[in-house]
Amino acid sequence: MRLAPAGLREWGGGGVAALFVTVLSWWLIPAAWASWTVTGVAVLGWFGIAWFFRDPHRHPPVGVRPGDLLSPADGRVSAIERVDHHEAVDGPALVVRIFLSVLNVHVNRMPCDAEVLETIYTPGKFLDARTAESAKVNESMLTRAVRADGLAFGVRQVSGAIARRIICPVKQGDRFTRGERFGMIKFGSTTELILPEQADAVVQVRVGDRVAGVRTVLATVPVRPSEAPV
């Protein structure tokens, strides 16, 4: 099982702590059954931490089209909204919001081949990520990017009551391929895909759907013919 490097402090530190507790229990506790119990609890605790920071290899689904935008996260579609203006696209926008529980993979991936335009960090609250209000007032990191045909879009990472650390080590000019990892949010959180509101944009999911990063097509915006890859 591959573990996310961004969680090294947690799963690495947890491993050291589990080893320390195990050694200490065998040194101080005379009863072997008690030492085995403590060892089992320590190992299970570490596996719980490691499971959260798992980072599985993913491949796009068979038949994916150039205009398809893949899910940037695992979780459940909690909202599909249209807003009059969003800074990610500097105009009317379509927002697909995904809620990630603590059981989901929390690594974020780029929905298509793209170049980063900028990242915008917004400080805020740490409300429960399951509430609609959290998407408006919680701490967030917006990554604005552009597809090769000029389609501007955004991926927004939003913290929650438990998730209090957004990882997004990208900068202007960075280029990503479809499905490439670009960050993660530690523990329960929300990830949004923001697209410009236009007639040919088609959302491929509904509220309540379970989605998987890279494996699920969230929306389709056809590539402009003049820029379509050969």
- For the annotated catalytic residues, the residue numbers are 189
The residues near 74 (Cβ < 8 Å, ≥ 6 apart) are: 98, 100, 104, 105, 106, 211, 212, 213
Q: Please, are residues 115 and 174 in contact by the beta-carbon 8 Å criterion? A: yes
Instruction: Name residues whose C-beta falls within 8 Å of residue 1's C-beta, 6 or more positions apart in sequence.
Output: 50, 54, 56
The label of the residue with tokens 């059981």 reads 103
The answer to whether 93 and 132 are in contact (CB under 8 A) is: no
Nearest alpha carbon to residue 43 among 58, 69, 25, 66: 25
- The H or E element containing residue 65 is none
Closest residue by Cα to residue 70 from 204, 210, 230: 204
Q: List b or e across 53-75, with b for residues whose CB sees 16 or more CB atoms inside 10 angstroms.
A: bbbeebeeeeebebbbbbbbbbb
